[in-house]
């Protein structure tokens, strides 16, 4: 039998554990706890079936891509007026060259003209990095951007940054990889990007032939041939702007028995009425939108106007139903109707959004046709919808989290009943941008109760998903709101949350300062549970700083408080903390005693996640004492528990300690494998531990 030879060449990349060898004798055992591979990102929104009138622009983009790449990757800016089809052009071109981007196509809406202002670049980086398996992102923009560049360095990717506001907003999002291509769409030229080597591609209006063909594909050649004069009038009044043509075409397609001349006449009237608003073709869009809006039934028109008032940029049937007080089924059907008339864009997964100009149109109609109190009520209902759903998710994910007040003007509509933690966490993950939009809008409009209550309800998202920048912003807004309403209990809660957020972000001294403020407020108002929370936060900060005696004193002080009020889960948490301090101090007997008692506490209150955490730390205590058999058993049980719970940070920590166990037993190869798996998990959550693991791997003996 002929021998076999394996080779790796070209652009191949090996994921996970690899073994390269000649002859192998005996058994080979490879155990990898690395996370499952994610699918290659394909984030571009749906593209139009036919892109007409863009042959010149497509050819220019192709020539640019076929030229030798610059060292820092390509940045291509498509600039043109609103509604001209920049996004459709960019998306269609990237899809047509998808083979050039085997490592994925990424998309972000930078929302330069959305309510609430442009998208925070850290939020965009978070979405990109999560798509690559890096679940948690540094809070600081420069750190998040550096992690993105590192993750993209060896990849061939395409990125579409849609509706950019400024060059600075884009610059932080450039991957910087030589084989990467970033396409930016904007209403302005973004001349500042020329310093980064960006190439400008103007996008203008389409000609009459392309516009006529676009209408023909929408309404059919027979109707066009039958009323060619009306079609020519529609094309003329849409001014070569693709968005206006699509809206007008959708109106005509939805009314197959109505003469096309009716649409042409409607556009003439609206063009006359809106002539004073002419700006880069916007009057053509406004005229087409008014004509389409005019044929909506009462319910669809009201939903259209109400959606235009909302701070969120994407809508589901649930949020739409809350806005217009519709059943979910009616909201779903009406959203579909609005998408069919080209007044909304369908994003997939039951989500919709406005084009910028359409949103402005819907907002303006709401401001003129509806009483202000009705518009405000729609915004309030949607805000309270998000608060109610977040509160339901909070109760499932963190049942021991102390309940705070929730104020609703009326019972919220369409609140789901989550049955699994993963389902609730998935909702938080999908809606994180919408939650932040509601929170910021509530702050701007001085709805202080909604601000702090939503910040409080989002706590499970911060603990499990670790979006550091969002946590810091939301808790800061929540603290300011609590102080506005002079609620000291809420103020103490927000101060504690700020301390936790700083600690999660690795800013230990800052976290200690926030916990100290929380302790002062708790003492002033006589809140013993809040005082214990502040003390445990201070203790963890001091332990992180290496001040073990101070940490132990804080934990013991809190333990007395929580035992006195019968808070058993809190007592368990403090015993875990004391067990960690004892382990650090090499006092194995005390560590095992505290951790074993903590496991009893958590078992009694049904908190299995904390049972696993206590077991992992007890396993480390056994390891430090040389009780290797018990250490391995505890750590493997804990690791499996963290996999099931979806807790990558503690999974990484358990595997790291299993690596230490292998090293202590002289199994250097297994130790290297486990440290590498731990490193990858830490890296996936942007944990500060990544650098320590990298050094640990480098220090391992070779051979």
Model pLDDT for residues 65-121, shown as the tens digit of each residue: 999 888 889 999 998 877 888 999 999 999 999 999 999 999 999 988 777 778 889
Q: Show the low-confidence residues of the chain (pLDDT under 70).
A: 1-37, 135-136, 270-284, 686, 703
Could you tell me where the beta strands, DSSP code E, fall in 154-196? 158-162, 181-186
What is the structure's pLDDT at 279? Answer: 35
- And the tokens for 28? 């080979």
Q: How far is 650 from 613, CA to CA, in rounded Å?
A: 7
Nearest to 473 by CA among 484, 464, 485, 461: 461
Tell me, what DSSP letter sits at residue 198? -
- Specify whether the CB–CB gap between 183 and 90 falls below 8 A: yes
Q: What whole-number percentage of the chain has pLDDT above 90?
A: 60
List beta partners, residue 159.
106, 182
DSSP 146: H
Q: How far is CA 75 from the centre of its chain?
A: 24
Nearest to 250 by CA among 358, 331, 91, 366: 358
- Note the pLDDT of residue 27: 39
Pairing of strands 74-79, 158-162: unpaired
What is the per-residue pLDDT across 352-401, written as a single tens digit (0 to 9) for each? 988 877 888 899 999 999 999 999 999 999 999 999 999 999 999 888 77
Query: Scanning the structure block, which residue is given the tokens 């919709």?
Result: 352
Cβ distance 121 to 145 under 8 Å?
yes
Token pair 């080979």: residue? 28
* Confidence at residue 275, expressed as pLDDT on a 0 to 100 scale: 36
**Exposed, middle or buried: residue 368 (CB in 10 Å: 0-12, 13-18, 19+)?**
exposed
Contacts of 351 (CB under 8 A, 6+ apart): 314, 315, 316
Chain length of the chain: 703
pLDDT at position 15, please?
43
Range list of H helices, 485-507: 488-504
Angle at 156 between CA 155 and CA 158, to 5 degrees: 120
Quick one: residue 239, left, alpha or beta (phi over 0 = left, psi -120 to 50 = alpha)?
left
pLDDT at residue 24, as a whole number:
39
For residue 428 the two structure tokens come to 């938080």
pLDDT at residue number 601: 95
pTM passes above 0.85 = no
C-alpha span between 481 and 444 (Å, rounded): 11
Q: Give the whole-angstrom CA distance, residue 402 versus residue 423.
A: 22
The pLDDT of residue 25 is: 41
């Amino acid at each position: 039998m002929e021998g076999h030879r394996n080779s790796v060449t070209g652009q191949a990349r090996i994921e996970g554990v690899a073994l390269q060898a000649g002859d192998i004798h005996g058994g080979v055992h490879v155990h990898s706890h690395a996370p499952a591979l994610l699918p290659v990102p394909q984030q571009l929104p749906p593209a139009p079936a036919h892109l007409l009138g863009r042959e010149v622009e497509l050819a220019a983009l192709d020539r640019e891509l076929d030229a030798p790449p610059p060292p820092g990757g390509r940045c291509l800016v498509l600039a043109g007026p609103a509604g001209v089809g920049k996004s459709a052009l960019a998306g269609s071109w990237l899809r047509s060259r998808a083979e050039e981007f085997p490592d994925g196509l990424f998309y972000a809406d930078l929302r330069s003209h959305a309510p609430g202002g442009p998208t925070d670049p850290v939020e965009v980086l978070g979405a990109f990095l999560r798509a690559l398996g890096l679940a948690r992102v540094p809070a600081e923009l420069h750190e998040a951007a550096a992690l993105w560049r590192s993750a993209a360095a060896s990849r061939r990717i395409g990125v579409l940054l849609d509706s950019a506001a400024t060059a600075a907003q884009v610059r932080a999002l450039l991957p910087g990889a030589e084989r990467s291509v970033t396409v930016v769409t904007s209403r302005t030229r973004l001349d500042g990007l020329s310093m980064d080597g960006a190439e400008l591609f103007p996008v203008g209006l389409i000609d009459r032939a392309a516009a006529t063909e676009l209408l023909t594909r929408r309404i059919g050649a027979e109707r066009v041939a039958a009323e060619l004069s009306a079609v020519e009038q529609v094309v003329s009044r849409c001014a070569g702007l693709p968005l206006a043509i699509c809206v007008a075409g959708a109106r005509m397609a939805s009314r197959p028995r109505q003469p096309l001349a009716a649409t042409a006449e409607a556009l003439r009237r609206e063009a006359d009425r809106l002539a004073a608003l002419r700006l880069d073709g916007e009057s053509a869009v406004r005229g087409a939108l008014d004509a389409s809006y005019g044929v909506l039934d009462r319910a669809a028109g009201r939903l259209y106007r109400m959606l235009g008032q909302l701070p969120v940029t994407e809508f589901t049937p649930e949020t739409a139903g809350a806005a217009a007080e519709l059943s979910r089924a009616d909201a779903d059907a009406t959203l579909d109707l609005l998408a069919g008339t080209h007044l909304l864009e369908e994003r997939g997964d039951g989500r919709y959004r406005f084009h910028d100009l359409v949103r402005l149109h819907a907002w303006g109609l709401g401001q003129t046709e509806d009483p202000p109190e009705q518009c405000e009520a729609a915004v309030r209902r949607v805000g309270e919808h998000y608060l109610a759903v977040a509160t339901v998710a909070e109760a499932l994910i963190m049942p021991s989290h102390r309940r705070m007040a929730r104020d609703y003007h009326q019972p919220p509509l369409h609140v789901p009943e989550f049955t699994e933690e993963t389902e609730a966490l998935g909702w938080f993950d999908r809606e994180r941008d919408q939650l932040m939009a509601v929170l910021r809008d509530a702050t701007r409009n001085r709805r202080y109760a909604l601000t702090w209550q939503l910040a409080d309800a989002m706590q499970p998202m911060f603990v499990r998903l670790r979006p550091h920048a969002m946590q810091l912003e939301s808790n800061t807004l929540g603290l300011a709101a609590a102080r506005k309403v002079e609620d000291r209990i809420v103020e103490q809660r927000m101060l504690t949350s700020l301390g936790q957020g700083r600690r999660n972000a690795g800013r230990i001294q800052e976290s200690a300062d926030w916990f100290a403020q929380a302790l002062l407020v708790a003492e002033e108002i006589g809140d013993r549970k809040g005082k214990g929370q502040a003390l445990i936060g201070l203790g963890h900060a001091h332990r992180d700083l290496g001040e073990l005696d101070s940490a132990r004193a804080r934990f013991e002080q809190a333990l007395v408080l929580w035992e006195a009020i019968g808070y058993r889960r809190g007592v368990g948490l403090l015993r875990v903390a004391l067990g960690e301090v004892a382990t650090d101090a090499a006092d194995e007997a005390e560590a095992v005693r505290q951790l074993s008692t903590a496991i009893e506490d958590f078992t009694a209150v049904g908190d299995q996640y904390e049972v696993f955490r206590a077991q992992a730390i007890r396993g480390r205590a056994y390891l430090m004492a040389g009780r290797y058999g018990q250490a391995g058993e505890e750590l493997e049980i804990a690791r499996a528990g963290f996999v099931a719970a979806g807790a990558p940070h503690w999974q990484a920590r358990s595997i790291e300690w299993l690596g230490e166990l292998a090293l202590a037993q002289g199994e250097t190869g297994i130790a290297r494998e486990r440290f590498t798996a731990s490193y990858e998990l830490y890296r996936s959550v942007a944990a500060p531990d990544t650098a320590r693991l990298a050094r640990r791997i480098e220090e391992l003996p070779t051979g």
